[in-house]
Structure 1
Amino acid sequence: MKIKKYVASTMSEAMKAIRNELGEQAVILNSKIIYNGGFLGLFKKKNIEVIAAIDPKPDQKLETKVSKASRSSDEDILQKSVQQQTFYDYDHLAKEVKQLKNQLNSISSSYKSVNLKDYPQNIQEELIPLLHQELEEKWVIEIAKSLNEKWRKSDANVSKLQLKEWKREWFYQKLDNLSFGSIDYDKRYIHLVGPTGVGKTTTLAKLAAEAVLVHKKKIAFITSDTYRIAAIEQLKTYANLLSVPVEVVYKREDFQKAIDQFRAFDLIFIDTAGRNYRDFQFVKDLKDLIYLDHQELVSETLLVLSLTSKQKDMEEVTNQFRSYGIEKFIFTKMDETSTVGGMMNLILNHQKGAAYITNGQGVPEDIHEANKRFVVDQILEDISI
C-alpha cells in the first residue's frame, strides 16, 4: 500500500493533488487542520493536512512465486492484526454505547422533571434538543409554555418550521435589551478578568491584534498576573510581535505609574491573574490592585469563562465578580465542548450580553464577535464555528 501526506490551503486543492498522483482509487485515511509559521500561535497560516493511500493491484506473477510458508506467515500476521482491530473496535464501540446511554439517561431525567409529556408531541420534539444542550429547566419550561400558548391560539396546522421560528423569537425577545458585540473602542481601559485556565492571555492577544491590525489603534498592555512567570513571558512575546509596550504591576503604586505612562495611548489592555475566584478575597485583592475610580467612565470589564467549565462553577465566579462591575462575557473553548447551554444560562440569569466567543488557540483568527443571532444560532445548533 502506498501512503502519502499532502498539505494544502483547502481540501479541494488537497484532493486535486491526490487524484493527480494516486488516481481516483485513492482513499483518505485522515485529515486535520494544521498551522504553519507564526510564533506562540500568533499570525499562523491555516492549512489542511490529508493522509491518502492507494492499494496497488497485486502482481499475479509475483503471487505464484510466494511460498506456502510465506503465505502462512502473512496469514498469521493478518489474523493477529484483525483480532487486535476487533478488540479495539469492540472497546471503542462499548465506550460510545456507554456515553450514549449516559446522555439518554440525562435527557430522560430532564424530560421527566420538566413534564414534557404535558405538551403536544411536536412541541416536545423542539424542547428535547434544548435539554441536550443543558439549557436550564426553568427556561425550557418558559419556552414550552410560550410555544404551547401560540400553538393553541393558531387556527391553522402548525408546522415544524413555524415552531422553530417561535422558539427563535423567544430567545430574541429575552436577549433584546442586552448588550452584545465587540469591545467599546471609545473606552481606554479594557479589563479581562476570570479564573485560571480559561485562556485570558491568549484572548487578550486576539483582541489586541484586532485593535492594532484592523482598527489601527495605539495600544499597550498592563498585567498583574505575577503568579505565573510563563504568563508574563507569553504576554511579552505577544507585545513584541505587535510592537507594543507592556508593564508588569505588583502593587497599587505600580498600576498608577503604568496608567500615567500610557496616558497618550488609545487603548490599554489589562490582564489579570488567574486565581480561584470562587473565593471572594481574591476578587477583593484584584479590585484593590486595579481600581480605576476616576477612570470609571472610560473603562470596560469583560469576564472570561470557559464553556468546558461546570455550570455551577461559572455561576459562582460570576456572582463573585458582581460587585466588580462586569459589562459583558467572553466565552472560550467552544471547540472543546458539545454543549453551549451554559453560555445561554449565564446570559439569561445575569442579564449580561457576550462580547466574543473563541474556538481555538489561533491568534487572531479563532475568535468571533458575539451578537444575538450568533448566540441563538449556537443554542439552536443551526450553525457551528
Structure 2
Amino acid sequence: MKMKKYTASSMPAAMKKVQADLGDDAIITSSKVVYSKGFLGMFKKKSFEVIAGIERADIKEPAFSSKTVQQSAMFESQVSEDSSKVIKQELADLKKLMKSMQSQSASIQYPDELSTVIKQLEHQEINPQLITQISDELFTIVKNSKANLTPQEVQALAQKQLAHLLEGLPFGGISYEKKYINVLGPTGVGKTTTIAKMAAHAVLKKKKKIGFITTDTYRIAAIEQLKTYANLLQAPVEIVYDKEDYERALLKFERLDLIFIDTAGRNYKEIKYIKDLQQLIDVENNVENYLVLSMTAKERDMATIIEQFLAFSVEKLIFTKVDETNTIGSMINLMVKYKKGLAYYTDGQEVPEDIEEASMKNVIELLFQGDNK
C-alpha cells in the first residue's frame, strides 16, 4: 500500500487533499491534531495531520534471472496448488457426506408425509434443533389426523409452526416515533445503500424532512456515495470526526423530522471499534438502532457481530444481499437465537426499489420459495 502524510488547517481540508491526490478509493489509516511552535512558546497554531494510503495493484514482483530458481519456484507452486486442490476436494466430500447422513437420520425419525418439508428446511440451512422442534409438532398433528394430508397442507402446517417460533419478535421498518435512525454494521454489507433506500421511502412515501450524518471518515468513497444520495433526495449531510462535530450536527438538524446516521464500516469483531462508536454517538436517546448483516456472510460470523452489539439497544436486524443466495435459514436461526426482530431485507442495488419492509408472513414465504425466490 502506498502511504502519504497530509497536513491542513481543518479535517475536511485534509480529506480534500487526500481525495485530490489518491482518489475515492483512499483509506485513512490515522489522523491527529498537531500544534506548531509559536513565538516564545505562545500563539501555537493548530493543524490536522492525516495519513492515508491506497492499494497499488500495479506493483509486480521482481523477476529473477536464474532459470533454475524460476523452475524450482514453479514446481513448488504447482505442488502447493495441487495439494490445496486435494484438501479442498476432501473437505467438500466430507461436508456432503455429513449432510447426507443428517438428512437420512431426520428422514428415518419421521413418516414419509414429512420428508419433503424436512428436506426443504434442511436445504435452507435451518438449525437442526429448530427442524426437530418443527418436525415433532408436525408428527403429532399427522399422527392424530384422521385423513391423509396433502404435501401443501403439510407445508402450511410447517409454516404455522415456524410462525410460532417467530412469535413475539418485532417486524417492520422505521416506526417514525423517534427522530434518529442509527444504522450499524460491519464493512462490506451495503450499509450506505441500505440507508439511502430507507431514507428515500421516508421522503417519497412519508413526506419527511430528513438529513444525513456520517461518521465514516475512513473511506472517501463512502462519503461521496452518501453525498450523491443526499443530493438526489435534496437532503443535507454532515460529516463528523469527533464528539463535538456530532453535537453540532444534531443542533444544525434540529428542525428536521428524521436524521439518518451512517456509522463507519469497521471490523466489529474487534471490541475496540464498538467502544469507539459508543463514545462518539448517542445510541439511547430518541434513537432507533438497526444492525445490518449480509446474507452472504457465514452464520457464525454474523452471530459474532450480533454478540458484539448486544450492548446497544438493537431490536431489529436488516439483512442485505438476499438475491445473492438461495438459502436464508441463517436469517431465521439468528432471529430466534438472539430474540431480534426484522426491519427490512434487500435484494438488489437499485435505490429505492430493492428493499422490502419485513413481515412475518413475507419472511416465511421467502424461506419456502427457496431456489425460486
TM-score by length of 2: 0.72
Q: Give me the whole-angstrom Cα distance separating, in 2, the residues matched to 1:253 and 1:320.
A: 26
Is 1:107 the equivalent of 2:99?
yes
Q: Structure 1 residues 106 and 336 mapped into 2: Cα distance closer, same or farther (>3 Å)?
A: farther
Deviation of residue 176 (structure 1)? Answer: 2.1
Does the 8 Å contact 1:334/1:357 carry over to 2? yes
* Residue 258 in structure 1 maps to residue 249 in structure 2: yes
Cα shift at 1:115: 3.5
**% identity of equivalent residues:** 46
Give the drift of 1:132: 0.8
Distance in 2 (alpha carbons) for counterparts of 1:103 and 1:126: 22
TM-superposition CA deviations, 1:303-357 (whole Å, max 9, x none): 1000000000000001111111112011100111111111111111111111111
Residue 263 (structure 2) aligns with = 272
Please state how far the C-alpha of 1:383 moved relative to its aligned partner: 9.0
Match of 1:317 in 2: 305
Of the three residues 110, 122, 127, the one matched with 1:131 is 122
Change (3 A) 1:180 1:261: same
Q: Which runs of 5+ in 1 are unaligned?
A: 1-97
Give distance in 2, aligned partners of 1:345 and 1:292.
26
The 5 Å alignment of 1:1-385 reads 105=97, 107-112=99-104, 115-293=106-284, 296=285, 298-381=286-369
Q: Deviations over 1:45-84 (max 9, x none)?
A: xxxxxxxxxxxxxxxxxxxxxxxxxxxxxxxxxxxxxxxx
TM-score by length of structure 1 reads 0.70
Q: Does the 8 Å contact 2:124/2:370 carry over to 1? A: no
Of 273-282 and 303-312, more deviation after overlay is shown by 273-282
Separation in structure 2 between the aligned mates of residue 301 and residue 221 of structure 1, nearest angstrom: 15
Amino acid at match of 2:367: I
Is 264-273 or 182-191 further displaced after alignment?
A: 182-191
Conserved 8 A contact 1:377-1:383: no
3-state DSSP class of the match of 1:217? coil
Measure the CA separation in 2 of the matches of 1:292 and 1:130: 37
Amino acid at match of 2:328: V
Equivalent residue letter for 2:150: S
Q: Is the 8 A contact 1:107 1:128 kept in 2?
A: no
Deviation at 1:227, TM superposition (A): 0.9
Q: Distance in 2 between matches of 1:164 and 1:117?
A: 19
Cα deviation for residue 238 of structure 1 reads: 0.9
- Residues 236-280 of structure 1 show CA distances to partners (whole Å, capped at 9, x for unaligned) of 111111111101111111111111111111000000111111112
- Cα 1:191/1:109, change in 2 over 3 Å: farther
| CA apart distance, 1:104 | 5.4
Q: Distance in 1 between matches of 2:98 and 2:199?
A: 41
Relative distance call for 1:383 and 1:111 in structure 2 (3 A) is: closer
Q: What are the ranges of 5 or more consecutive residues in structure 2 without an aligned counterpart?
A: 1-89
Q: Is the 8 A contact 2:214 2:223 kept in 1?
A: yes
2-structure distance, mates of 1:127, 1:215: 42
Conserved? CA contact 1:224–1:248, under 8 Å? yes
Q: After the TM superposition, list the runs of 4 or more consecutive aligned residues in structure 1 that deviate by more than 6 angstroms.
A: 100-103
Give the aligned partner of residue 87 of structure 2: none
**Partner of 2:140: helix, strand, or coil?**
helix
Change (3 A) 1:106 1:358: farther
1:108-141, Cα deviation, whole Å (9 max, x unpaired): 14325x5431111221221011111111111111
Q: Which letter does structure 2 place at the counterpart of 1:211?
A: A
